[in-house]
Amino acid sequence: MGLTALKGKKLTRKKTIRAKSRVGIAGVSLDKGFRTFKDEFHVNVDRKEIASNMKSYIKSKMTKDDQRDILANPEYKFYTFSHYAATAFWSLNKLESEDLFVYYEAKLYDYLLNLIELGRDIRKEKTVEETVNVISLSPMQRLQNKISDTIMQDMLDLEDQWMNGEKTTIDLYKLFQTHGLSGSATLPVRQVIAGWLLDYEDAYYKRDADAVEGYAHLKKSDLNHRIKSCQDMLLDLDKIQSAAKANRKVRKPKIKSADKQVARVQYKKEDNNFKLVSINPILLIGSKRLYTFNTKYKVLVEYCTQSANGFEISGSTIKNLDKVNSREIKLRKPDEFLPIVLKKTIKQIDTEWSKLTTKTIKTNGRINKDTILLRVMDK
């Protein structure tokens, strides 16, 4: 159709369907039963009013101490589950009790008990510092605020889309990266998703009559989609935690100086019977081979290590010990064999050792007040 043909013809703008605005509790039916009320409550009541209803219920039903703990939780804890707020409103207004309402009231009570525990932990860790009218938030408070402002909003948007009949999903792994959230942020998110999954599975597998009735308006395919989405999101949380562990910085152990390591070591400085004098125990630190002699039991010990750092010592225990190649033997004639240990090479000592008739056994890494430190080597 050309421009000439269009002359005199009235043009109309294509109509667009606007999203229904929330109208508050005034737009919710009170005379059609609890299930209808609960569903309309989610659609018509905004988050601010949902949270307000929850807090009114808490102040009406809970003790002062429990109120203090519950209200210490971040704001999203009070508006995430609209069906709990709907239950709270129904209870406060003493509307007709139904089996479905009784089911949700029990779930609401369990949820509040959980908030008491979470809030108690938050209050314990809360450290408020006031310097020139500036309040410093604790690390936990900052994390809770960030979770509330980011990933929880994404999840609430997802729930809204599900309520509107959309089969949408979200990628939690990517969203955590986008928001800069660490593995420590997974726990509160996991609690919400696990709660959803339990309700949907109870309805899908007909494990709970009240859950079946509560989600009777959903097709089985809708429930299946939500279950699969929750399972995928929980798997994403597992991957986030695994990635956090893999990227965690490993703190290198602080190695004590040689003099501090040998400060409490017990050994025998000198023995007049065998005419032996111990070397300075500091020489043990970093060496690769050590020979000792127990003057009380006439036991010769050869300690070896494969560690690049050589020997370390803690108290009177030699660390980094090669337990396979370290050995000990009882000497029948110490005066004849000890000079070999003090002067010969490793190969020569090993040759003479093999000629001894007493049994060679494995050894531990401990020295004591009867031990003479004979000699150390660097190989």
pLDDT tens for 126-184 read: 755 444 445 567 888 888 889 989 999 999 899 889 988 899 999 999 999 999 998 88
**Confidence band, pLDDT 50/70/90 cuts, at residue 210:** confident
214, 245, 276: which is the final residue of a domain?
245
Q: Say yes or no to pLDDT of 347 above 90.
A: yes
Q: Stretch 343-369: mean pLDDT, rounded?
A: 91
190, 221, 245: which is the final residue of a domain?
245
Residue 59, domain member (yes or no): yes
What are 215-238's pLDDT values in tens digits?
A: 888 899 999 999 999 999 999 999
The reply to whether 288 and 171 lie within a common domain is no
**Confidence band, pLDDT 50/70/90 cuts, at residue 6:** very low
What lies within 8 Å, CB to CB, of 328 at 6+ separation is 299, 300, 301, 302, 360, 361, 362, 363
**Confidence band, pLDDT 50/70/90 cuts, at residue 3:** very low
180, 210, 245: which is the final residue of a domain?
245
The reply to whether 50 and 145 lie within a common domain is yes
Angle between helices 151-163 and 172-179 (to 10 degrees): 140
Phi-psi region of 5 (alpha: psi -120 to 50; beta: other; left: phi over 0): alpha
Question: Which among 116, 113, 108 is positioned nearest to 70, based on CA atoms?
Answer: 116
Between residues 372 and 9, which one has the greater pLDDT? 372
Q: What pLDDT is recorded for position 165? A: 86
**Mean pLDDT of all residues belonging to the chain:** 85
Q: Stretch 346-357: mean pLDDT, rounded?
A: 92
Residue 251, domain member (yes or no): no
The reply to whether 184 and 323 lie within a common domain is no
> For the chain, how big is the Rg over CA atoms in Å?
37
The reply to whether 90 and 210 lie within a common domain is yes
The reply to whether 32 and 175 lie within a common domain is yes
The reply to whether 177 and 272 lie within a common domain is no
Beta bridge partners of 290: 303, 376
Longest dimension (CA), the chain: 129
Residue 282, domain member (yes or no): yes
Residue 196, domain member (yes or no): yes
- Which DSSP letter does residue 370 get? T
The reply to whether 90 and 196 lie within a common domain is yes
Task: Give me the DSSP letters along 111-150.
Answer: HHHHHHHHHHHHHHH---EEETTEEEPPHHHHHHHHHHHT
Q: What pLDDT is recorded for position 372? A: 92
Q: Say yes or no to pLDDT of 13 above 60.
A: no
Amino acid at 123: R
Q: What pLDDT is recorded for position 205? A: 92
What are 30-84's pLDDT values in tens digits?
A: 888 899 898 889 888 888 889 998 999 999 999 999 999 999 999 989 988 889 9
Task: Give me the DSSP letters along 202-248.
Answer: HHHTT--HHHHHHTTTS-HHHHHHHHHHHHHHHHHHHHHHHHHHHTP
What are 269-326's pLDDT values in tens digits?
A: 999 998 999 999 899 889 999 999 999 999 999 999 998 889 888 888 888 889 889 9
The reply to whether 207 and 265 lie within a common domain is no
Residue 253, domain member (yes or no): no
For residue 10, report the phi and psi dihedrals to the nearest 5 degrees: -75, 125
Sign of CA dihedral 199, 204, 208, 212: positive
Q: What pLDDT is recorded for position 136? A: 67
Percent of the chain with pLDDT over 70: 89
Q: What pLDDT is recorded for position 129? A: 44
Q: Is the pTM of this model over 0.75?
A: no
User: Containing domain of residue 337, as a range?
Assistant: 258-377
Distance from C-alpha of 166 to C-alpha of 180, rounded to nearest angstrom? 28
Contact 300, 331 (CB under 8 A): yes
Contact 68, 114 (CB under 8 A): no
Q: How many domains does the chain have?
A: 2
